[in-house]
Amino acid sequence: MSGQDALWVIVPAHQEEARIADTLDALAAQQDGDFTLLVVDNGSSDRTGAIARDFARSAPFPVEVLDEPEKGVGCAVDTGFRYAIGRGATLLARTDADCLPRPGWTAAARSALGGGAERMVCGRIVARRDEHGRIGRGGFAVLVSLAALFGRLRPAHARRNGYRAPYRMHAGNNMAITADLYLAAGGMPRRPSPTDRLFLNRVRRQTDEIVRARAMVVENSTRRLRAYGIRGTARWYLDRGSGGRGDDPR
């Protein structure tokens, strides 16, 4: 599709040969397949890029694979978004190469971005069903709710600090945004993770059109939580390091 409804899906990926095929299969199963997929290989030394290129040969939608040697998920996302915008994308959605978008994900993103407003959409994340049982998935849901509450109550996030929109739970692996708003906000911070909070606050200074779409669901890998524990994960997301556990939980 072209014009005002041109949707691109951007997937940053680093050393994801064990998981990216499942993500690509989940995208191939989307009910709305009218989009272009861009995989941004962020300096992988494994078969991440090769798997994406193999997928492109039989994918039900156009697929491009872009190499971004500058380390950091923020670099990969920003390069990917700007590349897509330069090729006509007006609507942008992102997930990660260890996540599983549910079949209605792209349709929900397109619907939530519709109406002509410059807007950002925050989707709903749940734990991957192939990593946890019912109790584990329930525990993950509780942690997400607590993180959202902390974000709303954190004094630095208050609207009196110049923000036009209230703080909303934002996961970079499940978000969508209009191209013009992405550029107006200055793009994703070009740095390693975590970048989600920084980007959200950039967007909050530009618009009050930040909405939550409960129908836009991604199953999220919880390997960082398993590797770092609750306290270590909290430290990492608050940009205070991982307590000596390293930056990559693979």
Residues 29-75 have pLDDT tens digits of 999 999 999 999 999 999 999 999 999 999 999 999 999 999 999 99
Query: Does 79 score more than 70 pLDDT?
Result: yes
At 227, give phi and psi (nearest 5°). Answer: -75, -40
Query: Does 130 score more than 70 pLDDT?
Result: yes
Look-up of token digits 């036009």: 164
CB 200 within 8 A of CB 207: no
3-state helix, strand, coil in the chain (%, to 5): 40, 20, 40
Asked, for residue 248, whether it belongs to a domain, the answer is no
| Start-to-end Cα distance in the chain | 37
CA atoms of 142 and 145, how far apart (whole Å): 5
Asked, for residue 127, whether it belongs to a domain, the answer is yes
What pLDDT digit, counting tens, does each position of 237-247 carry? 555 544 554 55
Dig out the tokens for 107 from the structure. 């349709």
Write out the residue range of the structural domain in which residue 183 sits.
Answer: 3-237
Looking at residue 110, what is its pLDDT?
97
Higher pLDDT, 218 or 249: 218
State the burial class of residue 227 (Cβ atoms within 10 Å of its Cβ: 0-12, 13-18, 19+): middle
Query: Does 187 score more than 90 pLDDT?
Result: yes
Asked, for residue 82, whether it belongs to a domain, the answer is yes
Asked, for residue 183, whether it belongs to a domain, the answer is yes
Look-up of token digits 């407003």: 117
Residue 36's contacts (CB-CB under 8 Å, 6 or more residues apart) are: 6, 7, 8, 9, 61, 62, 63, 64, 84, 87, 89
* Total of domains in the chain: 1
Q: What DSSP designation does 194 have? A: P
* Amino acid, res. 170: H
**What dihedral angle (degrees, nearest 10) is formed by the CA atoms of 223, 13, 234, 171?**
-110
Alpha-carbon distances of 116 from 104, 110, 121, 179, rounded to whole Å: 21, 11, 14, 12
Asked, for residue 190, whether it belongs to a domain, the answer is yes
CB 200 within 8 A of CB 237: no
Asked, for residue 247, whether it belongs to a domain, the answer is no
Looking at residue 248, what is its pLDDT?
52
pLDDT band at 232 (very low <50, low <70, confident <90, very high): low
Higher pLDDT, 181 or 223: 181
At 175, give phi and psi (nearest 5°). Answer: -150, 160
What is the domain-level CATH number for residue 226? 3.90.550.10
Look-up of token digits 């998920």: 73
DSSP assignment of 19-42, as one string?
A: THHHHHHHHHT-S---SEEEEEE-
Of 41-50, 60-69, 137-146, 217-226, minimum mean pLDDT range: 137-146
Query: Does 214 score more than 80 pLDDT?
Result: yes
Asked, for residue 250, whether it belongs to a domain, the answer is no
Query: Does 129 score more than 90 pLDDT?
Result: no
Asked, for residue 143, whether it belongs to a domain, the answer is yes
